[in-house]
Amino acid sequence: MRFLFLLLITISLPVLAQESIVFGVHSNTAPLEWRNNGVDQGFNVELMNRIGQLTDKRIIVRRKSFQQLVKDVHNPNSDIDVIAVVSPVNIDRQLAQSDPIYATHAKAYTLQGKALINNWADLVGKRVAIKKGAFVEVFLSDHLQNFDRVDVDLYETGFKLLTKNQVDVVIAESFVARRLLPLYPSVRSSSDALIYGAFNFVANGTKAKQMYQINEALRQLKISGEYDQLVNKWFGTGREKVDLTSTDNRLFAFVILVAIISAVGLVYTGFISASLRRHTKALDAELIQRKRIEAEISELSKQFQSVLDGIPDGVTIVNKELQHLWSNDNNIHLLVSDEFYYIDHDVFILRMAVLDVLTSQKSLTADMVYQQQFWQLQIHPIAQEQVVILLAESTEQHRLRQANEEASRLASLGELSAGIAHEINNPTGLIVHAVSLFTAAIKDLTPAASHYQKQNPFWLIAGLPPDVAIDELQHSCGTIEEGSKRISRIVNDLKRYAMPHIADEYTQVCLNDVVQVAQRLTANQTKYHQITLKLSESSPMIKGDAQQLHQVLINLIQNACNACLAEQGAIVIETSIEDDIAILSIKDNGCGMNSATLKRITEPFFTTRRNEGGSGLGLSVCSKIIKEHHGEMQIQSSIGKGTQIRLTFALAQ
């Protein structure tokens, strides 16, 4: 596994008695850092300084080669304690790591006017700049590349090559790109996120104590709100489209220039007025000169207006009657669209919003939704019965916030699942042991009860005849045993969901064998349905864990059986090979799923069979196992037509 290491630079005075944390660094330009007048600064620098203060540790930075850092982090005797890593979210690690710190992503950038990049297929045949050592390169190392790759040392080098038409596309990390875009106005963002990454601290397993202290410091920063302040300071909104500071400076320069020219005009006007009284004969020449000056001022005014029109965000000034007094016409049509509403789905009516702001004389700021995009709306009162409306797209910030919240939620869910599984296992074991004892006891007591009933025909057990009571007890024991087994299955699913992945245990597995074993283990469920196997003659082999793959296919077969009507269900299981990809497909003609269910089908604890005993962990565990095997799961379903689930894996070399 390869990592992209971020630059962590801290300055601390040597104190002999103070313990230290040594960070290994391999790059002078980490993606989330930059320099100001030669001084390293950024989110990571401030974060590490605060961690050092909270843990009372001295932060030491040692620079080494990439290969040496990889060896050091796996060597318990190394002089390196911790490294920082940004890697694609689908890459697992065996080393100790901190809580998620921040989520990021990379996407495509092209010149203005070029076609948008909708997916990886749009890069075929293009010259694509990739930064060496970046997490983009880590991701591409495990994915087939169908484009002409151009390696660069920095993302900025890629942007320079793009402006010179020496490359067609740059795939860059978003935080760095947002800093570069104001410097390269001919470059634009041309795609949604193509790769998602997560930022963590990583250490050798022997450094568990230090990692625990770092995690405690991180949690303290998050609880106190200081972490959010750092995030807002370095990654806050407003940097995506326009560098507001430089824009303000340019606008201020224009205003100063207009003011100077206006002052010059006033001087000239005074001079002309005085000259009219003294020099009547020079009136025509002075009038021509005045017209020339007015033309210059008008030209500057037009230039100033063009700057305002060039702002990508919508700016509109309206009065109480909603008449547009001025507008740059950017995205203003959204204000009157029926599909433009508040993020909580309340209806947005422009007239009511404007009247509320004018009445209260207080600004309105709200998050809005339009189709699949997110926007921030601001309405500010200005002159009498006039407001200025600002409209800026915030889709990227919203998605980053969602990704960060999802990473934190899943981390907490994994810890909760492991704790619940441990607490439930003990009483479940007692129940199973007791039921086994009761079943054996009832079996031994049955002849004695029959003998005693012959001597005492009126003898009752719990108000029931002995033979009926014995049957009821046996049935109750069977019910308790079945319930305890169901609890055990749910606990095992919870443990499996929270269990870390160990890739070193993978061996070569034949998908045809996985299908045949799963069919035998589900024979009792599938006997009421028509099962068709279409197994590839070339026996697709993949690297994986056979038992885990059995669990995935058994779960999918059981779901297919539950979706089909008895004696009318048809289930087709097929294996095949396409290029270097092994494919396992299971298709049924059951009830199918709607789009809302499809979006949540792999969420933990989500189930449509709650009343029938479903735990909602089956597909979430399957999804986790497939991701651990570096595979993909595609689900297609229609109400009344059935469902097809297609699993793809890389063929074993």
| pLDDT band (50, 70, 90) for residue 238 | very low
CB under 8 Å to 278, separation ≥6 — which residues? none
**Among 211-215, 278-282, 618-622, which is the least confidently predicted range?**
278-282
What is the pLDDT confidence band of residue 615, given thresholds at 50, 70 and 90? low
The CB density around residue 343, as the number of other CB atoms within 10 Å, is 13
pLDDT band at 138 (very low <50, low <70, confident <90, very high): confident
Which CATH fold would you assign to the domain 4-102+198-235?
A: D-Maltodextrin-Binding Protein; domain 2 (3.40.190)
Residue count of the chain: 653
DSSP type of residue 348: P
Residue 241 has pLDDT above 60, yes or no: no
Q: What is the pTM of this model?
A: 0.34
For residues 343-372, give the mean pLDDT.
Answer: 88
Q: 565, 589 in Cβ contact below 8 A?
A: no
Cα 32 from Cα 183, distance rounded (Å): 17
Q: How far apart are CA 503 and CA 625, in angstroms?
A: 11
Confidence (pLDDT) at 394? 84
503-650 CATH pick, 3.30.565.10, 1.10.600.10, 3.40.50.300, 3.30.2350.10:
3.30.565.10
* pLDDT, mean of residues 115-130: 91
- Tell me which residue of 159, 142, 150 sits closest to 123, measured CA to CA: 150
Average pLDDT rounded to a whole number, residues 52-81: 80
**Separation between Cα atoms, residue 197 and residue 405, nearest integer Å:** 14
Categorize the per-residue pLDDT at 5 as very low, low, confident or very high, splitting at 50, 70 and 90. very low
pLDDT band at 15 (very low <50, low <70, confident <90, very high): very low
pLDDT in the model for residue 307: 66
Which token pair is 3?
Answer: 């990592």
Domain ranges of the chain: 4-102+198-235, 244-309, 314-393, 398-498, 503-650
**Dihedrals phi, psi of 369, to nearest 5 degrees:** -130, 135
**Distance of alpha carbon 603 from the chain centroid:** 14
Task: Find the mean pLDDT for residues 213-231.
Answer: 88
Lookup: tokens for 535: 């197994």
- pLDDT on residue 646: 93
Helix (H, G, I), strand (E, B) or coil at 319: strand
In this predicted structure, the answer to whether residue 355 has a pLDDT above a threshold of 50 is yes
At 11, the pLDDT band (50, 70, 90 cuts) reads very low
Q: Residue 187 pLDDT > 90, yes or no?
A: yes
Q: Is the pLDDT confidence value at 90 over 70?
A: no
| CA 99 – CA 89 distance, rounded (Å) | 14
Q: Give the mean pLDDT of the chain.
A: 79
CATH architecture, domain defined by 314-393: 2-Layer Sandwich (3.30)
Averaged over 42-61, what is the pLDDT? 83
Asked if 131 contacts 106 with a C-beta cutoff of 8 angstroms, the reply is no
What average pLDDT does this structure show over 224-230?
88
Residue 576, pLDDT above cutoff 60: yes
pLDDT at residue 237, rounded to an integer: 42
Instruction: Give the separation between CA 599 and CA 586, rounded to whole angstroms.
Output: 19
The percentage of the chain sitting over the pLDDT mark of 90, rounded to a whole number, equals 15
The string of pLDDT tens digits covering residues 465-516 is 888 888 888 888 888 887 777 677 667 755 654 555 544 578 899 999 999 8
What mean pLDDT is predicted for residues 609-636?
Answer: 80
Band the pLDDT of 244: cuts 50, 70, 90: very low
Position 14 confidence tier, pLDDT thresholds 50, 70, 90? very low
The per-residue pLDDT for 233 is: 80
Residue 410 banded pLDDT, cuts 50, 70, 90: low
**Ordered DSSP codes for 161-177:** HHHTTS-SEEEEEHHHH
- Measured in degrees and rounded to the nearest 5, phi and psi for residue 576 equal -160, 170
Whole-angstrom CA distances from 205 to 73, 94, 130 are 9, 9, 32
Q: How confident is the model at residue 180 (pLDDT cuts 50, 70, 90)?
A: confident
What are the E-state strand segments in 46-168? 58-63, 82-88, 96-97, 102-111, 127-131, 148-152
Mean pLDDT to the nearest integer, 413-417: 61
Q: Which of 360-374, 432-446, 477-491 has the highest mean pLDDT?
A: 360-374
Pick from 157-166, 397-406, 514-523, 640-649: least confident: 397-406
